[in-house]
Amino acid sequence: MVIIDEFSMVDTLLFFHLLKACSYVQKILIIGDEKQLPSVMSGQVLTDLLQVEGIHSVELKEIFRQKEDSGIIGLAHKMRRNEEIPFQYFEDYHDIHFLHT
């Protein structure tokens, strides 16, 4: 078995080579979030694979990386819905300014 994390970043060429290298592997476990940034190269492999009827998938409904009241979660949902994001500070958000010399 091969386990691949952060699969949303995998493009078609990388997936081709991955499958070619795994010719003797019986199972591949893919972990990714289709709502994250896609690959910078061609193809949205994870999104396409999730459309295939014969591939079993599980969608997690609970966020474990941040606290439930985290500002980053609200911002992420607004970005996914293409909503306007007001400039505001959250308890867990810090804006860092760099001085250029």
Residue 25 tokens, joined: 């592997």
pTM over 0.85: no
Taking residues 27-35, what's their average pLDDT?
Answer: 88
Nearest-5° angle of CA 82, CA 35, CA 39?
A: 110
Which residue has tokens 């860092």? 96
Nearest-5° angle of CA 24, CA 38, CA 92?
A: 115
Strands (E), the chain: 2-4, 28-30
Instruction: Tell whether the model's pLDDT for residue 100 goes beyond 80.
Output: no
Distance CA 2, CA 5 (A): 10
Instruction: Tell whether the model's pLDDT for residue 90 goes beyond 80.
Output: no
Neighbours of 90 (CB within 10 A): 13
pLDDT band at 86 (very low <50, low <70, confident <90, very high): low
Q: Is the dihedral of CA 19, 21, 24, 26 positive or negative?
A: negative
Percent of the chain whose predicted confidence (pLDDT) is above 90: 37
